[in-house]
Amino acid sequence: MSIELVSSTKSFDGFQQRYRHKSSTLNCSMVFSIFLPQDAEGNTQRKYPVVYWLSGLTCTDENFSQKAGAQRVAAELGIILVIPDTSPRGDDVADDPGYDLGQGAGFYVNATQEPWKQHYQMYDYVVDELPSLVELHFPINGRRGICGHSMGGHGALVIGLRNPKRYQSISAFSPICNPIACPWGEKALGTYLGADPKSWEPYDATVLMGRAVEKTPILVSQGEQDEFLEEQLRPHSLQTAAEASDYPLRIEHHAGYDHSYYFIASFIEEHLRFHADSLLSRHIY
């Protein structure tokens, strides 16, 4: 469970850092990013809650770090941000020429099919290995939020819904809400999990929301000019499931916004404050 510092850059009185580690879950070397608010590095007194950010198709751990402007708000609130990569990586890791499959497109599932299953175990990596790793090495108090964008919004919803005791807050930007019924999801889930759609359901936020027992409030932000809205994202399906199961879901539709990081940057402050409402309410020092 060792980590190796790749880079450390001061940001808003804290540090934006990258670390490399050997992932036993993914069976390869991985890099993640972390933002530590002021005084968090090397601090043994105060411990902080974490918000995990899951990125979308083609992203690495750096897109959110560079483009979302989240550090300003995380620094003010006293929240650590942890940003994993979007898939296993490496020359010996299976890949696909499509941007929506293989490296950069892990879809936060545990693959069961060849040749993917040797490395593509992103669900377990994000839920278990990465939290264990960062909670060992950084001053974290065990309170966790999860958030993401597009494919990563799907990941955040699925992981949050399936693990209500592990995550005290859940939100998403422009998530793939119903991957069992959209082209991106059908391609990825069919490839990683096999042809039986029943095996896809544990990775479908709309299905999971309809069956939820413990109901952590969820915030979703969606741009109305998002080029993937109707075909790929399908927030209306999630809304319908929430209404049927009386789930506390708030979907905010924003006129004029698209699928880009400019949309995320415009509303990341609202999302981090939403997480802070849950994560900081029983602050542990």
225 binds a copy of itself (CB under 8 A): yes
162 binds a copy of itself (CB under 8 A): no
CB-count burial class (<10 Å; 0-12, 13-18, 19+) for 240: middle
Q: Restricting to residues 15-54, name those near a copy of itself by CB under 8 A.
A: 16
187 binds a copy of itself (CB under 8 A): no
Single out the residue of 12, 164, 190, 202 in contact with a copy of itself (rule: CB under 8 A): 12
Closest CA to 126 of 102, 99, 98, 154: 154
The residue (of 99 and 262) whose beta carbon lies closer to a copy of itself is 262
Region from 98-106, 107-115, 257-265, 276-284 binding a copy of itself, contact rule CB under 8 A: 257-265
Give the DSSP letter string of 30-86: EEEEEEE-TT-TT-SS--EEEEEEE--TT--SHHHHHHS-HHHHHHHHT-EEEE--S
66 binds a copy of itself (CB under 8 A): yes
The pair of structure tokens assigned to 178 is 């119903």
Residues 173, 270: Cα–Cα separation, whole Å: 11
Choosing from 11, 33, 150, 278, which is the catalytic residue? 150
Strand partners, 30: 21
Region from 10-18, 158-166, 190-198, 213-221 binding a copy of itself, contact rule CB under 8 A: 10-18
Residues 143, 140: Cα–Cα separation, whole Å: 8
271 is catalytic: no
The residue (of 10 and 165) whose beta carbon lies closer to a copy of itself is 10
Residues recognised as catalytic = 150, 226, 259
Positions in the binding site for a copy of itself (CB under 8 A): 9-13, 16, 66-67, 69, 71-72, 223, 225, 256-258, 260-263, 265-266
